[in-house]
């Protein structure tokens, strides 16, 4: 298998489609259904990149960004995060900045629905295959 990507999304259709696209390109895909599970898998699986939805149950993607800034997650502070969400980028940035006083610091921002080619180009620009 190739590089490991953590896909954090609560929509089973998105998970199925994105997983197939990534696996067909040789990436190993690890899945999380919410932000809490994503944080657990970041620690246990050590992915090379995270694809993160912002609107998820229990712990949302905004909280994942906050947690990744905590000292306990310092080891993963440079982990590239690709936001893949239905929330418009300007709205997400404004909400996060108002709530946290910080910028989100994502590597890329893609709005759903995304074309497979755009997703793969984004990932390969951040994570060249071995």
Coil, strand or helix at 106: coil
Overall average pLDDT of the 44-59 stretch = 96
Give the pLDDT score at 100: 81
- Tell me: the pLDDT tens digits for 60-111? 999 998 999 899 999 998 999 999 999 899 988 888 888 887 888 899 999 9
pTM summary value: 0.93
Q: What pLDDT, on a 0 to 100 scale, did the predictor assign at position 84?
A: 97
Q: Average model confidence (pLDDT) for the chain?
A: 92
pLDDT of 130 strictly over 60: no
CATH code, domain with 92? 3.40.50.2300
Instruction: Please report the pLDDT score of residue 93 as a whole number.
Output: 85
Range of the domain at 13: 4-126
- Give me the sign of the Cα torsion angle 18, 94, 49, 60: negative
Report pLDDT for 102: 82
């Amino acid at each position: 298998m190739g590089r490991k990507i953590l896909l954090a999304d609560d929509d089973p259709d998105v998970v199925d489609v994105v997983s197939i696209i990534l696996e067909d390109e040789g990436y190993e895909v690890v899945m999380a259904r919410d932000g809490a599970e994503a944080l657990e898998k970041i620690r246990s699986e050590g992915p090379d990149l995270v694809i993160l939805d912002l609107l998820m149950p229990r712990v949302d993607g905004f909280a994942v960004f906050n947690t990744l800034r905590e000292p306990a997650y310092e080891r993963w502070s440079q982990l590239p995060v690709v936001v893949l969400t239905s929330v418009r980028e300007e709205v997400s940035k404004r909400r996060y900045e108002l709530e946290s006083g910080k910028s989100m610091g994502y590597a890329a921002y893609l709005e759903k629905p995304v074309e497979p080619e755009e997703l793969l180009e984004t990932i390969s620009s951040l994570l060249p295959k071995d």
